[in-house]
Structures are given as structure tokens and as C-alpha cells.
């Protein structure tokens, strides 16, 4: 337990002030073990994406089980985890040219990989005259960012990085984010295999051009849940698997029992006889991710605030602090919500209330700074 928490923790989760972000430690620990074992069985290093939890304690658990390095979305995250003793950090986001000076300062202290997908970014790094480990982002079909894997620009940019005096090609990375739009586990598996084959092709093309590709890196939580082989790939970077969420249950990545994070809320308003109660689980608790269901909603409620099975009730609309619930509830009643998107939900809170069963055992800080 973190020092100083014992005197302020509620003994039972239902005694917590709300809204509260509940982290089930038993479930978390099992998720981490299962994914590490899966990465080991597939023959790849596991470099977890810590943007999901933004929590040093969780990252330390991942490292203790065998994770090799971490992935971050922001330079602020990189600094936080560097200060906590993590020395191998991949900033898996297209380089923000306004932050090159800060990245240079950090790369002098830890092994920091920066990500590019344009000649402009490479030239900016070269002009900084600082040693950088540069990772080339590959688009394997998602279409968000990155160089198309079958484009001649892959070799062109990799050659330019390799020829730059103080730059080194650390690796090539991709993310099959379109697995989140798959309509079946089989479709997820097919997209995950396409992701793998795209990276194998990138490695082949670079070696044929006389260039070493560095580490070939991929991964999403849905993909890692279904992919059958990662032959030819060096590492995987799933993040959501630590916590899971309602969307992952619908994708077939996990069951409801694998979801480690929930939001505890209190009913604050209930019109007599009309249903549609209001609880303190608005957008600043659950985010505005409407999830995979039709009609859309902002989270599913459990039958009981202690957890267990989901009910048919949902958070049907949100404003900043208000969450409207389907069904009838009494003022003061506690409800437990499974969020659609754990990553965005976690980013709304300052801390996890860590529980084993209903017993509150600790409080862990969420490092969500943007500075």
C-alpha cells in the first residue's frame, strides 16, 4: 500500500465518494499475466502501451512479468515514466515538431524512440543536430497516419534516416486500429494477420535495399487476442488489455469478468414514476465514446453496485457531470458502470481506487499531465 493511504481509504468500495474509478487488482493481475504469456508463446517482446492506464504501479507490474520497454502517446507520459525509472520508451505518435527540443533533452537521459512518417519530420530531426532513435510509422491499412507499407516511400524515408549523421533507424511500427471496426473475431484475426504480413513485407523491402529495418513492431489489443502467428515480427504494443472495457467484450477480446476498470456513481436525481434517473457519471467520468451498440450509449450498468453481471440498464446520455440512466433508481443509490472505452475513461480521473473484491486496498495515481 502506498504510504499515507491507509488512513484515508474507505474499507468498502460502496463507501467511496463518487464518481470513483475502481480498479480490480485481481482482474488486472490476471490480464497482465495472460497477455505476457501470449506474447511469449508468439515469440515477440511485449512493449505495452501505457496510455491506457497512465499509472506507474501498473507499468511496474507489467515490467515485473517480462515486458520489455513501454510505449507512450505523449512526451509528458515519456517524462513521467522516465522519472519513474523506465529507460526504454517509444513515443508512438507522429513527431510534433514543436517538441523536438524537449525530446532531445529526454533522449539524453533515456532510450527514447521518436516516430516519423514524413521527410519534413526527418529533416527537422536532422537539423536539431542531436542523436535520435527514429522509428518509421507504417500504415498497414488503418489509414490514420504512417507511410503505406507497399509504398516506395518506405525505403526512401528509411534511407534518409540511415544516412543522417546523428539519426539511427530504431525500427518500424504500425497499428491496426481498424480491428476495432471488425464485425467478428474471425475478421479481427484476418486484419491482425494482414498487419503482420505488412510488417514482414516492410522488413523484406528494406533489407533488399541494403537497409536494416530495426525492430518490426505492431499490435492492438483486439489483434493480439486473435492473431495466430507473429512470425517475422519482433515486438507487440497492446495497451487496453491491462484493463479492457465494454467495447473489447463486444469484439471478443475478453469477457465482462476480464474488465478491471469500472466507474462507481451515485444517483442524485430521480423523477417520481418517470424513470431516467441522473447519476454523477457524465462525460467527465465516462467520456463521450458511444461504444459499439445500436442504439448507442455511454456505458452499461451492472445488476449490483458490487459488480458481477451486467444489467439491461445503460447510461443513455451525458453532459459534463450528469449521466442519465435508463430504468428507475432511488436517490442516493450507488451504481457501477462498465465504460465503453477504458483509455478515455481513465484519462478523466486523477487516481484509481484499487480493490480486491469489495475491499479497498490502495489508491494509485493516474499520471495524466499534458505539460
- DSSP-assigned states of every residue in 246-260: HHHHHHTS--GGG--
The strand pairing partners of 323, in sequence order, are: 279, 318
* Cα 60 from chain centroid (whole Å): 16
User: Residue 279: which residues within 8 A CB-CB, separation 6 or more?
Assistant: 265, 266, 267, 268, 315, 322, 323, 325, 329, 335
At residue 368, the pLDDT reads: 93
Q: What is the pLDDT of residues 66-113, one digit of tens each?
A: 999 999 999 999 999 999 999 999 999 999 999 999 999 999 999 999
At residue 10, the pLDDT reads: 74
DSSP one-letter code for 244 = -
For the four alpha carbons of 283, 287, 289 and 294, in that order, the dihedral sign comes to: negative
Average pLDDT, the chain: 95
pLDDT at 143 over 90: yes
pLDDT at 4 over 90: no
- Split at pLDDT 50, 70, 90, the class of 306 is confident
What is the tally of helices (H) and strands (E) in the chain? 11, 18
State the burial class of residue 65 (Cβ atoms within 10 Å of its Cβ: 0-12, 13-18, 19+).
middle
Cα-Cα-Cα-Cα torsion 12, 17, 22, 25, nearest 10 degrees, comes to -40
Ranges 55-69, 133-147, 263-277, 328-342: which has the least confidence: 263-277
At residue 168, the pLDDT reads: 97
In 3D, which of 313, 302, 315 has the Cα closest to residue 257? 302
- Split at pLDDT 50, 70, 90, the class of 8 is low
Residues 19-47 have a mean pLDDT of 98
* Cα 312 from chain centroid (whole Å): 27
Cα-Cα-Cα-Cα torsion 366, 364, 291, 293, nearest 10 degrees, comes to 180
- Split at pLDDT 50, 70, 90, the class of 370 is confident
- Split at pLDDT 50, 70, 90, the class of 6 is very low
Composition of the chain by helix, strand, coil, percent to 5: 35, 25, 40
Pairing outcome for strands 359-365 and 351-356: antiparallel
pLDDT at 260 over 90: yes
User: Residue 27: which residues within 8 A CB-CB, separation 6 or more?
Assistant: 257, 258, 259, 260
- Split at pLDDT 50, 70, 90, the class of 151 is very high
Q: At what angle do helices 119-128 and 153-163 cross, to 10 degrees?
A: 0
pTM (predicted TM-score): 0.95
pLDDT at 3 over 50: no
Q: Is 310:371 a contact under the CB 8 Å cutoff? A: no
How far is residue 337 from each of residues 32, 102, 121, 356, measured CA to CA in Å?
A: 22, 39, 42, 17
Residues 139-154 have a mean pLDDT of 96
In angstroms, the CA 73 to CA 80 distance is 12
The strand pairing partners of 269, in sequence order, are: 278
User: Residue 263: which residues within 8 A CB-CB, separation 6 or more?
Assistant: 19, 20, 21, 22, 281, 285, 286, 299, 336, 337, 339, 345
At residue 2, the pLDDT reads: 55
- Split at pLDDT 50, 70, 90, the class of 273 is low
User: Residue 123: which residues within 8 A CB-CB, separation 6 or more?
Assistant: none
Residues 230-243 have a mean pLDDT of 98
pLDDT at 154 over 70: yes
Amino acid at each position: 500500500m502506498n504510504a499515507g493511504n491507509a488512513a484515508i481509504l474507505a474499507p468498502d468500495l460502496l463507501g467511496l465518494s463518487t464518481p470513483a474509478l475502481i480498479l480490480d487488482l485481481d482482474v488486472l493481475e490476471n490480464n497482465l499475466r495472460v497477455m505476457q504469456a501470449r506474447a511469449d508463446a508468439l515469440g515477440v517482446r511485449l512493449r505495452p502501451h501505457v496510455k491506457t492506464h497512465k499509472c506507474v504501479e501498473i507499468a511496474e507490474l507489467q515490467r515485473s512479468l517480462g515486458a520489455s520497454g513501454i510505449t507512450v502517446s505523449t512526451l509528458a507520459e515519456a517524462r513521467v515514466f522516465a522519472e519513474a525509472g523506465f529507460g526504454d520508451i517509444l513515443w508512438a505518435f507522429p513527431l510534433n515538431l514543436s517538441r523536438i527540443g524537449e525530446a532531445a533533452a529526454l533522449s539524453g537521459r533515456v532510450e527514447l524512440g521518436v516516430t516519423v512518417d514524413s521527410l519534413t519530420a526527418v529533416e527537422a530531426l536532422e537539423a536539431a543536430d542531436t542523436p535520435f532513435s527514429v522509428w518509421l510509422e507504417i500504415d498497414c491499412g488503418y489509414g490514420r497516419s504512417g507511410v503505406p507499407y507497399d509504398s516506395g516511400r518506405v525505403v526512401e524515408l528509411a534511407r534518409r534516416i540511415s544516412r543522417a549523421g546523428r539519426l539511427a533507424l530504431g525500427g518500424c511500427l504500425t497499428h491496426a486500429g481498424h480491428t476495432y471496426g471488425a464485425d467478428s473475431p474471425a475478421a479481427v484475426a484476418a486484419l491482425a494477420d494482414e498487419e503482420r504480413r505488412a510488417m514482414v513485407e516492410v522488413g523484406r523491402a528494406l533489407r533488399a535495399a541494403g537497409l536494416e529495418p530495426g525492430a518490426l513492431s505492431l499490435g492492438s489489443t483486439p489483434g493480439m487476442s486473435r492473431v495466430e502467428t507473429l512470425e517475422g515480427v519482433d515486438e507487440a504494443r497492446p495497451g487496453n488489455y491491462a484493463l479492457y472495457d465494454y467495447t473489447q467484450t463486444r469484439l471478443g477480446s475478453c469477457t465482462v469478468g476480464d474488465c478491471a476498470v469500472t466507474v462507481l456513481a451515485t444517483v442524485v436525481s430521480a423523477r417520481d414514476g418517470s424513470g431516467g434517473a441522473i447519476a454523477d457519471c457524465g462525460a467527465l467520468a465516462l467520456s463521450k465514446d458511444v461504444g459499439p451498440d445500436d442504439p448507442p450509449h455511454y456505458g452499461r450498468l451492472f445488476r449490483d453496485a458490487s459488480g458481477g453481471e451486467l444489467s439491461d440498464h445503460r447510461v443513455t446520455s451525458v453532459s459534463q457531470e450528469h449521466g442519465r440512466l435508463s430504468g428507475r433508481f432511488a436517490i442516493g443509490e450507488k451504481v457501477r458502470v462498465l465504460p465503453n472505452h477504458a483509455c478515455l475513461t481513465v484519462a478523466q480521473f486523477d487516481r484509481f481506487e484499487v480493490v480486491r473484491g469489495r475491499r479497498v486496498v490502495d489508491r494509485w495515481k493516474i499520471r495524466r499531465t499534458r505539460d
